[in-house]
Amino acid sequence: MRKKLIAGNWKMNLTKQEAVTMLKNLLEIPLSEEVEVLIAPSFAVLDTSYEMLKDSGIKLGAQNVSEYDKGAYTGEVSCEMLKSVGVEYIILGHSERRSYFNETNKVVNAKVKKALNNDFKVILCVGETLEDRENGRAFDVVKEQLLESLDGVNMQVVVAYEPIWAIGTGNTCSTEDAEEMCKFIRTLLGDDYRILYGGSVNPSNISELMKMEDIDGALVGGSSLKAVDFSKLVNYEVEK
């Protein structure tokens, strides 16, 4: 039985004051036993977030981690540091990391291994560009990202399928296309893997997505920054 997961990726948003207000609102959200809920704030507010969420049932995630252990790596944050502020999940391979910060599958692979070896749960993001999809290459690209990012990895990760053209654009992938890719990923990895969809998930499309057999949850950007919307996402109608 794969537990559903709704994960909010705050990206580079919310100052400490804004985060505290958001966290107070999140603490009001009724949580269901059937859904695991996670937020991934910026590094700057992880500690504050942990303190506020620790008794709530909402899990804490980071948006990145260094592939190095410690030392002279200016600007980087290590696994040990994330552990010390209560982080449980790490999002890796997000398309924004891949495209703006040149993270290749090889770098993502090193980070995945480092995080898993340090007992974190990993949400590995994969997804094709619009050009890939239009050229019929979506499945090949996603397969290559998965195989290279998980090369030599024998522990389970959560995979987030995020078509790049659907992220932050309001252009959600159709539920059928999302399901088709999530099913494809499942055939590559195995039945027990949790596979999320991400890309313009909002209160009006969540229940349709969650009805799909191979979609085990959502990775949410924009809608995770509005407490009212995030509350609706977390409490989508669970189909019995």
- Interface residue with ligand PGA among 161, 198, 209, 230 (CB under 6 A) is 198
- Interface residue with ligand PGA among 61, 93, 127, 199 (CB under 6 A) is 199
Q: Tell me if 128 contacts ligand PGA by CB under 6 A.
A: no
| Closest listed residue to residue 87, CA positions, set 132, 44, 48, 120 | 120
> How does DSSP classify residue 225?
G
Q: Tell me if 6 contacts ligand PGA by CB under 6 A.
A: no
- Interface residue with ligand PGA among 67, 128, 132, 162 (CB under 6 A) is 162
For residues 166 and 201, the answer to whether their CB atoms sit within 8 Å is no
Any catalytic annotation for residue 34?
A: no
**N-to-C CA span, the chain:** 13
Q: Tell me if 63 contacts ligand PGA by CB under 6 A.
A: no
Q: Tell me how far, at minimum, the Cβ of 98 lies from ligand PGA, in Å.
A: 11
Count Cβ atoms within 10 A of the Cβ of residue 143 and give its class: 0-12 exposed, 13-18 middle, 19 or more buried: middle
In the set 94, 96, 103, 179, the catalytic residue is: 94
Mark residues 11-50: x for contact with ligand PGA by CB under 6 A, - for none. ----------------------------------------
| Closest listed residue to residue 199, CA positions, set 228, 178, 227 | 178
Instruction: In whole angstroms, give the CA distance from residue 229 to residue 96.
Output: 23
Question: Which residues contact ligand PGA (rule: CB under 6 A)?
Answer: 9, 162, 167-168, 198-201, 219-223
